């Protein structure tokens, strides 16, 4: 295994973000895509909105496995959107469109499904976001939200490096004024917004469940991306320590990521 730090530290931020998103699609998609496909299969046809679609790699995987649905992926970052459009031209999936757009109370279109994957943790007002999702869904529609629970990141047996990785992630989100534990908070927001049949399942993404190489790549690329934004938190000393530990891994560190599904009543 080469050094991803040497390979990617020189890239601009958009390329680092796109690289992390692509690695997440490859790694986490091993669990996310089959779970979501089963959820969407139960709906039959219709259309789905993917909020914060990034560079498009995950939505294209999901759409290829769910041809019964039409997908619209919206992304506000023009650089990421350009990458998504380029991917779509290469694979030519007829049930996918990408648009540059933001989401919120101003959004007026209606959909049968709304997907939000690793998006709510970055939203300034997540409770308002949830209310807007409810207003966007047709009667009987479904909201599928995938978010990490950083408090539950752990390792068996416990390892100091992985505890430090978790602590640095939490410190970064505190600076960003983000929401690193959305699944622990979202339940009351869903009920207050009018959703019913709320279900949550927590999946563990680890070298055992998604493969050692995939896990290593996504963790190291995430650390590199964070280093670009918070160099005092994600300093080079820790990056090198994390790289050495990941390359000689003898434990099973895991990320806890929740799948949350909520429905709009059939009567509205």
Residues of the chain with pLDDT under 50: 1-10
What are the helix and strand counts (H, E) for the chain? Answer: 10, 8
Residues 268 and 265: their CA atoms lie apart, in Å, by 5
Residues 4 and 239: their CA atoms lie apart, in Å, by 10
Domains of the chain: 4-263 (3.40.50.150)
158's tokens: 């416990």
Q: 125 φ, ψ to 5°?
A: -130, 80
Angle, helices 236-247/160-176, rounded to nearest 10 degrees: 140
Q: 16 φ, ψ to 5°?
A: -65, -45
249's tokens: 């891994």
- The DSSP bridge partners found for residue 50 are 73, 115
pTM recorded for the entire structure: 0.92
Q: Output the pLDDT for position 4.
A: 43
Q: Output the pLDDT for position 149.
A: 97
Q: Output the pLDDT for position 45.
A: 83
Phi-psi region of 197 (alpha: psi -120 to 50; beta: other; left: phi over 0): left
Phi-psi region of 194 (alpha: psi -120 to 50; beta: other; left: phi over 0): left
DSSP category for residue 185: T
* Euclidean distance between the first and the last CA atom of the chain, given in angstroms as a whole number: 53
Q: Output the pLDDT for position 209.
A: 98
Q: Output the pLDDT for position 11.
A: 55
């Amino acid at each position: 295994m080469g050094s991803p730090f040497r390979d990617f530290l020189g890239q601009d931020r958009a390329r680092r973000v796109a690289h992390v998103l692509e690695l997440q699609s490859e790694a986490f998609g091993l669990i996310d895509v089959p779970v979501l496909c089963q959820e969407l299969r139960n709906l039959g046809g219709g259309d789905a909105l993917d909020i914060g679609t990034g560079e498009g790699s995950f939505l294209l995987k999901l759409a290829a496995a769910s041809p019964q649905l039409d997908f619209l992926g919206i992304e506000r970052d023009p650089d990421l959107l350009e990458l998504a459009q380029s991917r779509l031209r290469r694979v030519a999936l007829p049930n996918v469109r990408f648009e540059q757009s933001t989401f919120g109370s101003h959004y007026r279109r209606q959909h049968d499904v709304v997907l939000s994957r690793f998006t709510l943790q970055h939203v300034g007002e997540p409770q308002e976001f949830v209310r807007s999702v409810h207003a966007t869904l047709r009667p009987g529609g479904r909201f599928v939200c995938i978010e990490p629970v950083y408090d539950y990141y752990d390792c068996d047996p416990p390892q100091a490096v992985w505890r430090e990785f978790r602590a640095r992630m939490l410190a970064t989100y505190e600076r960003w004024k983000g929401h690193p534990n959305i699944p622990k908070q979202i339940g009351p927001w869903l009920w207050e917004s009018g959703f019913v049949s709320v279900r949550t399942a927590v999946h563990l993404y680890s070298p055992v469940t998604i493969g050692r190489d995939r896990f290593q790549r996504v963790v190291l690329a995430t650390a590199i991306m964070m280093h670009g934004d918070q160099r005092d938190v994600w300093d080079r000393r820790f990056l090198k320590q994390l790289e050495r530990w990941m390359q000689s891994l003898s434990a099973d560190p895991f990320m806890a990521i929740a799948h949350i599904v909520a429905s709009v009543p059939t009567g509205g």
